[in-house]
Structure 1
Amino acid sequence: MKLFNVYPLYDITPVKGNDVFVYDNKGVEYLDLYGGHAVISIGHAHPKYVSNIQEQVAKLGFYSNAIHNPLQKELAEKLGELSGCDSYNLFLCNSGAEANENALKVASFVTGKSRVISFRNSFHGRTSATVAATDNPKIVAPINAQQKVTFLELGDIDSVKTELEKGDVCAVILEFIQGVGGLDETTAEFYENVDTLCKANNTFLIADEVQAGYGRTGNFFAFQAYNVTPDVISMAKGMGNGFPIGGILLHPSIEAWFGMLGTTFGGNHLACAAGIAVLDVMKDESLMEHVKVLSEYFKKKATEIPGVKTIKGRGLMLGLEFDFEVAELRKKLIYDYHIFTGSAKNKKLLRILPPLTVQKEHIDTFLTALKSILQPV
């Protein structure tokens, strides 16, 4: 049997990781400034993370959600404390797409409506409703296209108002910093007005924090830079540091009923052990404060790089925009300098999404390599 060939692959085979480094099957060390799509939050193979999972799997790896799982309650309590969203309720699942799918489902259940507003250059997942709400027709199959989704320009509040006042929109789903789209964001006035309009029109505001959440922007969630109160907050990626886990936080005004949502693997014992380790390390190592310091350092030093047109993003969700497409630049960084970086829908943007444990010397290594490529001696 062969693998279904849907991924273009770099010719690298990582077999081991340690903090911000990965090592391939030939023993070559790579500086990981992409974190596997922003998944690695507390560093590869963090000792606390490893021990939590080892100890849990030796006791009980899995049982269904038909029984009590105290680890779920511990995770919820620690998440509420660290995120500042302790009044919300937690539903656990397995991925970002599943989180957003459940968020949209709850919005439709509660409002009794079915149309969704999304934004140009958005990415919300590859499942049924989430891929329909993603601005990439290439990955939307006919069965997905049955969903009712309206795409608007990010920042166009008049269009949002017009669409909401039609009365059939169950949810506005919004990345407060667009990830795959290219780190675009708009004004506080826009985000706050969207929140106000949603509340006036019986429409849920869903904050998609799958990539921006879990401290990556310096706030626990990206929306916390603004005066907004989402009805649902979706999260995944950095939540498990590589172990598959996702979730949604639901506003306390949303009433649950048995069978409303469900999942086999969501919130399993191993996933919770991983998630608890991430929260403990983030708190014990003050990683959100560290993110802010490193972000300022990166932005200051990146201004010295020739050819950088714009520095985009917040925290350690960053992008360098050039006047040229960056595919070849990424290849040089990987093969010649052994540094992982990321791409975006914006082909001129180099995305930087390192583990939150990255240090100044790692940023210096990257910027020195970038200078060497862009301004060879």
Structure 2
Amino acid sequence: MPLFDVYSRYSVTPVQAKGHQVEDADGKQYLDFYGGHAVISIGHGHPHFQKRLKEQIDALPFYSNAVQNPLQQELAALLGRISGLPDYQLFLCNSGAEANENALKLASFRTGRAKVLAFTNSFHGRTSAAVAATDMPKALAPLNAQHQVDFLPFNATEIVVKALESEQYCAVILECIQGVGGLEEPTTAFIQAIEKAAQKSGTWLITDEVQSGFGRSGDFFAFQKHAVTPDVISMAKGMGNGFPVGGILVHPQHKAIAGELGTTFGGNHLACAAVLAVLEVLESEDPLSAIPELENAFKSHAEKAGIRVKGRGLMLGLEFDHPVGEMRKKLLEAGILTGGSKNPNLLRILPPYTLNKTDWEPLFNAINHLSK
């Protein structure tokens, strides 16, 4: 049976991996500066992660949310402590798109409004409402286009605040570091102005942390740099270190109402074991404390090479004066996995948190060689 192909794939077939090293079917080694699209957080093949999942497989791999699952309570408590958001309420699902879908649905339920405010170059997923709030026309089917979404420019404070005065939006949704959009960031003044205007108009503030969350930005969540209080925080990717899982954190003022949200697979036993393993490693090994040094080393290499840097933490990009498609192919041949974005001139770097600062050297040496 043929596959229904949807992606242009790398010409590499990984068969095993450890930390930030990947090996293909021919035994060739790669430095993973892509992280499976920002998914691998604590590293490939982490022993505690593997142990947690194997033990759960032996005990009980799955049961639906029709029964009690103490792992969900354990996960909620640990996530609340590590993230610094112990009062937020956790709803678990299966992906980032599903997380944003539920966030938007919840905002619409509670406000009674149908319109959403989103931003240019945003990406929130490929499900119905999430893709409607994504600035990617080719991904929008006629069915999705029926959703009412207004797109405004990123960091255009006066325009956005004025739009929110209309009290027509159920939610304003934004990434605190745009992923697919090219690592653009909101200013603190911009996002704080949104928060103030949203509170005044009864509009929910949703921060999309699907890619930037679970430490990738250097903070546990990227919005925390800006001292705002979202109504909903969506998350996925690095949350499960490769196991499919997503979720939303809902502000404590929005109490749960039975029947609004639901899921069969969300928060299943294996998914909880995966997220618990990630959180336990983040707490016990504290890889996030090394991220500022890794970021600074990256920026130092880039500065010496005369290359512009975008993003922060380990959600980084190198912006050139030319398209990087051919460079990415050459880097792959040299054994280095990287990512692209909507910005054709941006080389996106999304590695696991297991790097040492010296691991940047092969990347910049290869770039320097290709630039000659």
Partner Cα separation in structure 2 for residue 192 and residue 311 of structure 1: 25
Q: Do residues 373 (structure 1) and 370 (structure 2) align?
A: yes
Shift of 1:162: 2.2
Letter in 1 for 2:322: F
Aligned to 1:351: 348
Per-residue CA deviation, residues 113-134 of structure 1 (Å, 9 max, x unaligned), is: 1100000000000000000000
Aligned to 1:225: 225
Letter in 1 for 2:311: G
Partner Cα separation in structure 2 for residue 251 and residue 200 of structure 1: 17
Partner Cα separation in structure 2 for residue 150 and residue 105 of structure 1: 16
Question: Following TM superposition, where does structure 1 have runs of at least 4 consecutive aligned residues deviating by more than 4 angstroms?
Answer: none
Letter in 1 for 2:360: I
Aligned to 2:264: 264
Q: Do residues 167 (structure 1) and 151 (structure 2) align?
A: no
Partner Cα separation in structure 1 for residue 161 and residue 298 of structure 2: 38
Letter in 1 for 2:222: A
Aligned to 2:335: 338
Q: Do residues 252 (structure 1) and 249 (structure 2) align?
A: no
Aligned to 1:85: 85
Identity %, equivalent residues = 57
SS in 2 for 1:319: strand
Letter in 2 for 1:360: K
Aligned to 1:112: 112
Q: Do residues 362 (structure 1) and 368 (structure 2) align?
A: no
Shift of 1:334: 0.1
Q: How does 1:29-40 map to 2 (within 5 A)?
A: 29-40=29-40
Contact 2:100 2:124 in 1 (8 A): yes
Q: How does 1:192-211 map to 2 (within 5 A)?
A: 192-211=192-211
Q: RMSD in angstroms over aligned alpha carbons?
A: 0.8
Shift of 1:160: 1.3
Shift of 1:255: 1.6
SS in 2 for 1:219: coil
Letter in 1 for 2:170: C
Contact 2:18 2:45 in 1 (8 A): yes
Letter in 1 for 2:320: F
Aligned to 1:319: 317
SS in 1 for 2:151: strand
Contact 2:161 2:193 in 1 (8 A): no
Structure 2: segments with no counterpart, 5+ residues: none
Letter in 2 for 1:347: P
Shift of 1:203: 0.4
Per-residue CA deviation, residues 61-93 of structure 1 (Å, 9 max, x unaligned), is: 000101110111111111101100111000000
Shift of 1:104: 0.2
Shift of 1:213: 0.5
Q: TM-score, normalised by structure 2?
A: 0.99
Per-residue CA deviation, residues 134-187 of structure 1 (Å, 9 max, x unaligned), is: 001011000000000000000112221222122210000010110100000131
SS in 1 for 2:130: helix
Letter in 2 for 1:357: T
Q: How does 1:11-50 map to 2 (within 5 A)?
A: 11-50=11-50
Partner Cα separation in structure 2 for residue 73 and residue 279 of structure 1: 14
SS in 2 for 1:55: helix
Partner Cα separation in structure 2 for residue 10 and residue 177 of structure 1: 25
Per-residue CA deviation, residues 208-232 of structure 1 (Å, 9 max, x unaligned), is: 0000110011100000001210000
Partner Cα separation in structure 2 for residue 158 and residue 297 of structure 1: 36
Shift of 1:284: 1.2
Partner Cα separation in structure 2 for residue 183 and residue 266 of structure 1: 29
Shift of 1:40: 0.1
Aligned to 2:60: 60
Partner Cα separation in structure 2 for residue 93 and residue 298 of structure 1: 34
Letter in 1 for 2:364: L
Letter in 1 for 2:223: F
Partner Cα separation in structure 2 for residue 198 and residue 73 of structure 1: 31
Partner Cα separation in structure 2 for residue 146 and residue 197 of structure 1: 26
Per-residue CA deviation, residues 286-312 of structure 1 (Å, 9 max, x unaligned), is: 111111111111111211125x2x211
Partner Cα separation in structure 2 for residue 341 and residue 359 of structure 1: 17
Letter in 2 for 1:266: G
Partner Cα separation in structure 2 for residue 150 and residue 77 of structure 1: 36
Partner Cα separation in structure 2 for residue 373 and residue 84 of structure 1: 44
Structure 1: segments with no counterpart, 5+ residues: none
Partner Cα separation in structure 1 for residue 10 and residue 309 of structure 2: 26
Partner Cα separation in structure 2 for residue 130 and residue 259 of structure 1: 21
Q: How does 1:293-312 map to 2 (within 5 A)?
A: 293-306=293-306, 308=307, 310-312=308-310
Per-residue CA deviation, residues 288-342 of structure 1 (Å, 9 max, x unaligned), is: 1111111111111211125x2x21111000000000000000000001x110000
Partner Cα separation in structure 1 for residue 168 and residue 113 of structure 2: 5
SS in 1 for 2:267: coil
Q: How does 1:184-195 map to 2 (within 5 A)?
A: 184-195=184-195
SS in 2 for 1:303: helix
Aligned to 1:329: 327
Contact 2:97 2:125 in 1 (8 A): yes
